[in-house]
A = this chain, B = another copy of it.
Amino acid sequence: MKKMLQRLKLVASPKTVAIVGASPTPNKIGNVLMRNFLDSRFPGKICPVNPKHTEMFGLKCYAKVSDIPGRVDCVIIATPAETVPGIVEDCAAKKAGGVIILSGGFEEVGRTDLAQRIKEVADANGMPVVGPNCLGIYNPYTKLDSIFLPTYKLERPKPGNIAFMTQSGAVGSTVMDLAAFYGLGFSKFISYGNSTVLDESDYLEFLLHDKETKTIIFYLEGAKDGRRLLETMKRVNKVKPIIALKAGRSMGGQAAARSHTGNIAGSYMAYQAAFKQAKVTEAEGISEVFDIVKIFDQPKPKGNRVAVITNGGGMGVLTADAIESQGLALAQFSKETTEALRRILPAYGNVANPLDLVADAGVEAYGKAIDACMEDQGVDALIVIVLLQTPPIDERIIHVLTAATGRMTKPVVTVSVGGTYTESYRKVLEGKGVPSYNSPLAAVKALERFVTYSRYRESLEAK
């Protein structure tokens, strides 16, 4: 297996890519793939494979993979299920680096015979196979991109440190689209579908050793080998935090999962127990995955005491409620902090946590309040609520918030609720690495998960 993972590295960073099922017909999968590689200016060699053509997009088109001269690192297959085992055999004969099978029509519709043939060839040759029934791999660093969705409809994230491994192509790709929208950076995206050859434990292992990956998002319906998965999650999560989203938690969901990727979703309680044992962070839904992951790049908090700064009182109240309901604590400001804060507030303001700077607060007041909380040893993390609609707040707030997170001493999360104007600022903040939320509850939930994981890591270091 180790050899397969070595070769998987090559698949994700190929010099030569073959696209089997490449097509000149618009909207066909093999057409979208070709266009995506050409449009993104993939730096390696692109080889369309289709026996019906000799040339495509100005490139030489081959009848089969073994006709391509020289080494082929990555073969992407997008042809009907029945044709796939033969193509995989041809890839093995050619000694291709590895294969990504996008096509569906295998285990999930009862064609385990086809899947079995693929597995035998792969195992016999130590050749990694991703899929079938998946979107494959997107690597922003090398521009390998087997996602057969047009880039104008589905944005690709910039290079970064978040890896996303997902059984479901739809869930993975749409969340990735959302991530790109907010400027989050990805290290790898791996949609692995039926996991016929390589399974979730293999991909976790692969990402553990992937130098660009710091945090792993893991969407899972059902695992091939639960025991091995638990052991692997334990090992990986100690080094790189795993944020898991388990689908197929209900009876109806389990039935749906079975017909989706042919995997048995299994008892949710068993998975939940495994996540707990491995200290894996579990998300409740898609939005939460996204909320959580963007905070994990922040410096780890030493405790759960949160300072809240706001220019809207009601938002402070809602945040205080969320802090208590999620098991975090409102920090008690020290005497020094209280004095420093009193100097910032207008005459009728109260120094309290949440600190209500009131709607008159300007950017400078924010800067000073953040400074005071950063200095306070009784504060472990900051939630800075900025309602961007008030007249005194202008674009300099971006600098103040970027500088606060840039210190990398305590985690800082920001909350801004609003429409077009606010959303445009939130995008700028996210692009600059400042975690921004449009709901206090979402911010607090994410912070709580980060506090819990940080405590786990600290407990490991103490040993």
**Residues in A lying within 8 Å of B, measured CB to CB:** 27, 29, 32, 104-105, 109, 148-150, 152-155, 166-175, 177-181, 219, 221, 245, 247-253, 255-257, 259-261, 265, 284-287, 310-318, 320-325, 330, 348, 350, 352-354, 356, 358-359, 387-392, 417-423, 438-442
Q: Is the CB of A180 within 8 A of B105?
A: no
Q: Which residues of B contact A348 (CB under 8 A)?
A: 104-105, 109
| Chain B: minimal CB distance from A31 (Å) | 9
Interface centre among A149, A257, A261, A317 (most CB of B within 10 A): A317
What residues on B are CB-neighbors of A423 within 8 Å? 181
CA distance A27 to B65 in the complex (A): 67
Chain multiplicity (copies): 2
- Residue of B with least CB distance to A27: B391
Chain B residue at minimal CB-CB distance from A246: B321
- Beyond the given A149-B391, A168-B317, A261-B313, please list 8 additional residue pairs across the A-B interface where CB-CB is below 8 A: A153-B422, A169-B312, A170-B315, A252-B323, A257-B317, A265-B317, A286-B318, A286-B441
Q: Give the residue among A250, A321, A422 with the most B Cβ atoms within 10 A.
A: A321
Question: Are B286 and A417 interface neighbours, CB within 8 A?
Answer: yes
Are A314 and B181 in contact, with the CB atoms below 8 A?
no
Chain B residues near A168 (CB-CB < 8 A) = 312-315, 317
Bound-state Cα–Cα, A329 to B284, Å: 19
Question: Roughly how many angstroms separate A319 CA and B303 CA in the complex, as a whole number?
Answer: 35
Cβ contact within 8 Å between B286 and A256: no
User: Given the complex of chains A and B, what is the CA–CA distance between A287 and B415 in angstroms?
Assistant: 12
Q: Specify which chain B residues have a CB less than 8 angstroms from the CB of A419 in the assembled complex.
A: 154-155, 177-181
Select one of B154, B245, B322 contacting A389, CB under 8 A: B154
In angstroms, how far is the closest chain B Cβ from the Cβ of A259? 5
Contacts of A245 in B (CB 8 A): 318
Q: Which 6 A-B pairs have the closest CB atoms?
A: A170-B312, A168-B314, A181-B419, A250-B324, A260-B313, A285-B441
- A332 → chain B closest CB, angstroms: 11
The contact of A317 among B104, B174, B247, B440, by CB within 8 Å, is B247
The answer for the CA separation of A248 and B232 in the assembled complex, in Å, is 43
